[in-house]
Structure 1
Amino acid sequence: MPLPHPDLSVGTPSLFSLKGKVCLITGGARGIGLSIAHAFLESCCAGLALTYTSSSTAPKLAEELSKQYGVSVKAYKTDVRSKEEVSKLFTDLTADFESLDVVVANAGVSFHYDSLEMPEEKYHDLMKVNVDGVWWTATEAGRAFKKQARAGGNKGNFIVTGSASSVLVNVPQKQAVYNASKAAVVHLTKSLAVEWASWGGRANAVSPGFIETDMIGSLPEEWKEKWMTMIPAERFCAPDELKGAYVFLASDASSYVTGVNLIVDGAYTLP
């Protein structure tokens, strides 16, 4: 029996609201994750959970966001490389929030090495964060979503932070393993979209190009000069310019959108 259509009679502006939705963002205390957090709070989400690994300011940040927006915001120290820690995170979320509606697997790292010179420990660390971390988060989210859907509640929405590197090979930097990790999780997202469709769960990816974060600011100037010649928009992306993409995919405005890799890159991947 096909799943029923959602009620979209609320009007177009309300479709983009996250009212009533509880959201989780891994790696949500800084960079792209923090912009997503503000976007969800500005879109009136009912509650927000952020994970962090080493930030001493994340709990204070959660308190400040909670006071600013008037909703419950909680920070959870979680190493996404660990299946056990991710499992505990979802147990804690169940205790702290009544439901879980949107999960953004955003935590990630990037290392630049020649493929023949990358240290083994760096390879494993990158893959554990960028691939294993998304997998552990996805499986826990999927179980929670499916349980809710079977009980007649929200069917759940999973969003992965991919990268333009998932569809091309960047130059001049050498980052074969990073590129492979992002291609892996984008294809994982598409696979989950097909598997979860039978009970109404959705899975999509947002793949940013070059974003003006602290990480990009620390990279060699000659790399950035090269990238600028390759981006038709002739500039990097501000983190807040990603807000619309994540809100769209998190909201009912995208109720029939699943398995998409939404590339936000100023046309960098097109030429």
Structure 2
Amino acid sequence: MVLAKPENKHVLKAFDLSGKVAIITGGARGIGLEVSKALAEAVYNSSKTAEAVAEEIAVTNHVKAAAYKADVGNQEDVEKAIRQIASDFGKLDIVVVNSGITSNIAAEDYTAGQWHDIMKVNLDGAFYTAQAAARIFKEQGHGNVIFTASVSATLVNVPQKQVAYNASKAAVVQMAKCLSVEWVDFCRVNCISPGFIATEILDIHPQEWREKWYSMIPARRMADAYELKGAYVFCASDASSYMTGADIVIDGGYTLP
């Protein structure tokens, strides 16, 4: 059904995810960890703590949660993992495509391997994950894809040089728009584009870069990852039932001046 219409219910019930099965790639740390806490299912590649995280989420929230290992850049691997999750849980309702990496290299200095590494995870992996989930959603007749994109999809960050990351995230936003139309009969597809979020992915950067970023953010601070949880729950729930192809920017005003 085109953008399946939920029943008219109490607004708080519209946000209720009880009984839903969700996958979050990159769900063991940073933004993914906070989304995992909110939605409760994790797929991981390199984290050594994913199983402990899944157990903690399950106990704390009285839900069933598990960690699955997959290389999102490998189409066959991610297809197998997502099929296994759907089999183990009996269905699949939501996939949050969150895995991502970055690098800071001058454009003229990129090697083919360095460029490929970014695209393999951020773009290829995003597509393979959504594709594998969509095959299940098409069989079921319903589903929900949420991509973690970035404000870097629409602006040029300074002072860091990160053309590969920015290009990959711009591609994700456009890909999501295309998929939202192509898959409208059986699932919704939306993006969330965070600005600067205080996660370990930014820990390697020098303090002078941080000071530059703060000067450019009207909010004068980064967000904590948990401040994104409401947006992911909104996108995952019936509260956003008529929204598809959207890109929700959460950046403390960073993209506005």
Q: Which residue of 1 aligns with 2:37?
A: 38
Give the partner amino acid of 2:223: C
Contact 1:53 / 1:79 at 8 angstroms: preserved in 2? yes
How far apart are the structure 2 equivalents of 1:103 and 1:143?
12
**Aligned partner (choices 43, 49, 53) of residue 41 of structure 2:** 49
Say if 1:234 and 1:194 are closer, same or farther in 2 by CA, change over 3 A.
same
- One-letter amino acid of the counterpart of residue 37, structure 1: S
CA contact (8 A) 1:8 1:15 kept: no
Task: Give the equivalent residue in structure 2 for 1:43.
Answer: none
Counterpart of 1:44 in structure 2 is none
Counterpart Cα distance in 1 of 2:23 and 2:128:
14
1:109 corresponds to 2:101: yes
2:212 aligned to which of 188, 210, 226: 226
- Alignment partner, residue 163 of structure 2: 176
Instruction: Give the corresponding residue for 2:8.
Output: 9
Higher relative contact order (CA 8 A, sep 6+): 2
Give distance in 1, aligned partners of 2:61 and 2:131: 30
- Indicate the residue corresponding to 2:172 in structure 1: 185
Tell me which residue corresponds to 1:158.
145
Identity over aligned pairs, percent: 49
Deviation at 1:5, TM superposition (A): 5.6
Is the Cα contact below 8 Å between 1:62 and 1:74 reproduced in 2?
A: yes
> Following TM superposition, by how much is the alpha carbon of 1:56 offset from its aligned partner in structure 2, in angstroms?
1.8
Q: What is the aligned partner in structure 2 of residue 252 from structure 1?
A: 238
Structure 2: where are the runs of 5+ without partners?
A: none
Equivalent-residue separation in structure 2 for 1:50 and 1:105 (angstroms): 11
Q: Which amino acid is the alignment partner of residue 160 of structure 2? A: Q
Q: Is the 8 A contact 1:49 1:76 kept in 2?
A: no
**1:259-270 paired onto structure 2 within 5 Å:** 259-270=245-256
Q: Is the 8 A contact 1:49 1:74 kept in 2?
A: yes
Residue 61 in 1 paired to residue 74 in 2? no
Counterpart-to-counterpart distance in 2, 1:67 and 1:215? 28
RMSD between aligned residues: 1.3
What's the CA shift for 1:9? 2.2
Residue 8 of structure 1: how far off its partner (Å): 3.2
In 2: Cα distance, 1:217 partner to 1:25 partner: 23
Q: Deviations over 1:127-172 (max 9, x none)?
A: 00000000101111111111101xxxxx100000000000101011
Distance 1:72 1:3 in 2: 30
Q: Write the letter of the residue equivalent to 2:20.
A: K
Offset, 1:200: 3.6
Map of 2:23 onto structure 1: 24
Contact 2:74/2:125, CA 8 A, preserved across alignment: yes
SS in 2 for 1:20: coil
Describe the superposition over 1:44-103 as per-residue Cα deviations: whole angstroms up to 9, x where unpaired: xxxx43111122221122122212222111101111010111011122112201110000
Q: Which amino acid aligns with 1:131?
A: L
1:205–1:259 Cα contact (<8 Å) kept: yes
Letter in 2 for 1:264: I
Residue by residue, what CA displacement relative to the aligned partner does 1:178-236 show, whole Å, maximum 9, x if unpaired? 10000001100000011111x14100000000000112122111111111111111111
Distance of aligned partners of 1:248 and 1:98 in 2 relative to their CA distance in 1, 3 Å threshold: same
Cα 1:68–1:5 shift into 2, 3 Å? closer
CA distance in 1, matches of 2:44, 2:178: 27
Deviation at 1:4, TM superposition (A): 7.7
Aligned to 1:212: 198
What are the within-5 Å matches in structure 2 for residues 76-155 of structure 1?
76-149=68-141, 155=142
Structure 1 residues 3-12 or 243-252, which shifts more? 3-12
Return the TM-score normalized by structure 2: 0.97
Where does 1:197-208 land on structure 2 (aligned, <5 Å)? 197=184, 199-208=185-194
Q: Quick one: distance in 2 between partners of 1:202 and 1:37?
A: 20
Q: Tell me the secondary structure at the aligned position of residue 189 of structure 1.
A: helix
